[in-house]
Structures are given as structure tokens and as C-alpha cells.
Amino acid sequence: MTGYTTLLSRSEIEEGLVLAPKFDAHGLVTVVATDADSGDPVMVAHMNAEALRRTIETGEAWYWSRSRQALWRKGETSGQLQSVVEMRVDCDQDAIWLRVRIGGDGGCCHTGRRTCFYRVQPTGAGAALRPMMFCE
Amino acid sequence: MTGYTTLLSRSEIEEGLVLAPKFDAHGLVTVVATDADSGDPVMVAHMNAEALRRTIETGEAWYWSRSRQALWRKGETSGQLQSVVEMRVDCDQDAIWLRVRIGGDGGCCHTGRRTCFYRVQPTGAGAALRPMMFCE
């Protein structure tokens, strides 16, 4: 029981205006958070039904921590709270995009960086043999 | 056997320059693709080791289709090929961010839209009772 409807047709899921998240076998949807100012992805994480409900009601990002198996109010200890500027849902409703404004020092990653995506993997012919590069 | 190393410490995974993807129980990593021009997310999908290898070597996005259980050269039939402008890896290496330039008509979603994220879910007090809105 997630509190969300599951009795919708494919057309209702894709073209309807009722939120009907498709949770995976672990009860989770994937979330990508982007910085509302820069537009860049800052993290990829997950929400269960309760985290999703709290995010919608409070306008503040809550996740489900898979490592801690616990609800996670992002930024509660660091001050890097994520205020939701906009929430979007994808076509099949198994992924969510949050545009967030970040509190505290504006960071996101537990390594201290602004974004979790701080390394570039080269692509193209021969790239598999080249090391990654830091970009933050 | 993915062809990628798995024998790295947490510090090597987070601060190293060796690609060591953390595949999940299904052998997949999560991928968010953003439009290199607008910066907006266009889709969230998955890669297995082979899709990741092909993406790196060819500079063109390959995914693993969970519904079809098959390698998926994005855009092969639609012409909406995704040329990788930049690939980034997140801190714990279980998520990938692709900045892509899209071929054909520039679309991405199977519903015909530019992005899979074409609906906004309201957030804030009372928002759970309000319907989503189309934004594409």
C-alpha cells in the first residue's frame, strides 16, 4: 500500500494527470535532482512512497537512503536542504526530476563538492583506455 | 564478468580516475541524459556493462532496455540518435550523466515529445490533491 493508485492503463499513465508512480521491486522510483540555477544534475537518488509524499507536501526533497534503509531529509545535518522549485514526472512514471535550490553552502555531494558528477569519462575511439578527469 | 574492475576501495571509487561502475543486482547502472543545448533532462534509462562499453567506444548512447531485455541503440529506428558531448560518473559510480546532442527531429520520448519529463507535479501545502500539468 503506497497510497498511490496502481489501476491505470498505459495511456492513463503516460497521458493522464494523475500521479501514479511505478515503484520498482524495492518500492522505489529514481530521482534526478538538478540545480535550479545552473541546470546541472547534482545527484541521482531514490524515493519510496513516503519520501515522495513528504517531498510533495513540504516542497523540500526527501529521499530513501538505500545504504541506511531509512527516510532521508536531504541536508538535515549539513544544512544543504533542497527546496523544490519544480517536480516533473517522466512518461512511464518511474522517474522523477526535481529542480532544486540548495541551502547552506549550496553543496550536494557527501565528498564536499557542489555535484556528485565531478568526473568526466572520455568517450570516442580509444577512450576506454583513458582515465577519467576531475571537472570540479 | 563485466570487464570493469570491482576491486577498489571506497576512496578509490570516489576519488580515483578509474571507471569502476557499481552495477546493481540486475547488472545495471542508472543514466540520466540531458540535452547538451538546453541542459534539461530528456530521459532516465539504464546501461549494462556492454551498453556502457559501446557508449564509451562509439560516443553514441547505448542503453539496456529493461522491457525488451535487449541492448538498445537509442534512435536506431527513429533517427533520434544521441551523440555524447560529455559523460560524467557520480561519486559512488552507480549513476552516469550523459550530455547529448540528439539527431533526427531532436526528440527523445516515445510519446513524441522532446523530453520524457513533460508533466509537472505541484508541490507544497495541499499539492498532493492537485493534478499534474503538461509543460510540453
What single letter denotes the amino acid at residue A63?
A: Y
Inter-chain touch A41–B40, beta carbons under 8 Å:
no
The closest of A11, A19, A8 to A47, measured between CA atoms, is A19
A95 to chain B, any CB pair closer than 8 A? The answer is yes
Q: CA-CA distance, A97 to A47, in Å (whole number)?
A: 11
Q: Is the pLDDT of residue A1 over 80?
A: no
pLDDT at residue B1 in the model: 73
Inter-chain touch A53–B122, beta carbons under 8 Å:
no
User: At A7, is the pLDDT very low, low, confident or very high (cuts 50, 70, 90)?
Assistant: confident
User: At A75, is the pLDDT very low, low, confident or very high (cuts 50, 70, 90)?
Assistant: very high
A18 to chain B, any CB pair closer than 8 A? The answer is yes
Which residue in chain A has the smallest CA separation from B37? Answer: A39
A129 to chain B, any CB pair closer than 8 A? The answer is no
Option in A95, A97, A121 nearest B89 (CB): A121
Domain residue extents for chain A:
10-108
Ordered mean pLDDT values, 10 residues apiece, chain B (136 residues): 89 96 97 97 98 98 97 97 98 98 97 98 95 94
* Residue B7: exposure state from Cβ atoms within 10 A (0-12, 13-18, ≥19): exposed
Task: Kindly report the length of chain B.
Answer: 136
Give A10-108's CATH code, choosing from 3.10.20.810, 3.30.300.30, 3.40.50.11540, 1.20.1050.10: 3.10.20.810
- Note if the pTM is more than 0.95: yes
CATH architecture for the domain at B10-105:
Roll (3.10)
Contacts of A132 in chain B (CB under 8 A): 16-19, 89
What single letter denotes the amino acid at residue A38?
A: S
Q: Complex ipTM above 0.90? A: yes
